[in-house]
Amino acid sequence: MEMRQFGNSNVQITPILMGTWQAGKKMWVGIEDDDSIKTIRAAFEAGITTIDTAEVYGEGHSEQIIAAALSDVRDRVQYATKVFANHLKYNLVIEACDRSLQNLKTDYIDLYQIHWPSGSFNSEIVPIEETMSALNQLQEQGKIRAIGVSNFSGDQLIEASQYGRIDSLQPPYSLFWRQVEQDAMSYCIENNISILAYSPLAQGLLTGKFAPDQKFDPQDNRAKNKLFQGENFQRAQQALEKLRPLAASHDCSLAQLALAWLIAQPQTSAIAGARYPEQAKDNALAVNIQLSAAEIAEIDAIGRIVTDHLDNNSVMWNW
């Protein structure tokens, strides 16, 4: 898989990243460690060498699963993890990074990200200057190679950039969830900041596998995802029907079509999760789909069947 330059750093990443929220088990149902390890390994063998995780995914469990899957090929993979909103004071950032290094069984993290802005989830307000100071220190020490932010607005990204080089923004971004295009994308393009799109398949909605009467376990985070509610879900079904002929014309799945559209957007790579090895292999194949400008525009228009009716709140869940 052809690598992409990551921001202004000396790191390179794959256009499709392996997402591992589910490997942490918390807020997911029916996840088995053995499956997660095999799936992460299958992603690597299919060419996806950039792996995204976070300390909060199962309180370090996801990071530990990644280490179990990939420690023997550490020199050929890129680890991206995140510090949570309750650990943004200087000393807590340092401690969180050291924990992640231990969980990942490595002496450096390729990309270390602020997971949510200070104050999220009723966390203590910490000046971004203090958090960035800790991240800059970690980078100088060689413990991290690049700094990123996740779930930041354009204004928050600009403020953080005053205190150090930001190489990536990780927003929710898919054909069915596109607020970043109206907010931070222009700044990212102007400043060569990579966009790492999470939930690129709208938590599975863009696979087309969910029936109109789908019901989720209350412990499944998708039970509170706005896209799976009421008219949003019905509009998504309409859009998926219009996407099916395009997928058929490329002999690919709806998921692969959605990923191909996303990684064709400016500065954008996609973090695609998977429960099972075959899903990871299928995600990797999306890089082989070549969409014409006309097809990209057609897919864009179909996606707006859903997105034109959403509000400007960038959080995908009714938490």
Please state, in angstroms and rounded to a whole number, the distance separating the CA atoms of residues 269 and 255: 15
Instruction: Give the single-character DSSP code of 199.
Output: S
Tokens 């099972």 belong to 276
Backbone angles phi, psi at 158, to 5 degrees: -60, -45
d(CA 141, CA 162): 21
Residue for token pair 């990579």: 194
Distance CA 139, CA 133 (A): 10
Structural tokens at position 59 = 């309180």
Residue 304 tokens read as: 């707006």
Enzyme catalytic residues: 57
| Residue 150: other Cβ atoms inside 10 A | 21
Nearest to 146 by CA among 173, 166, 116: 166
Query: What angle (nearest 5°) sits at the alpha carbon of residue 4, between those of residues 53 and 190?
Result: 95
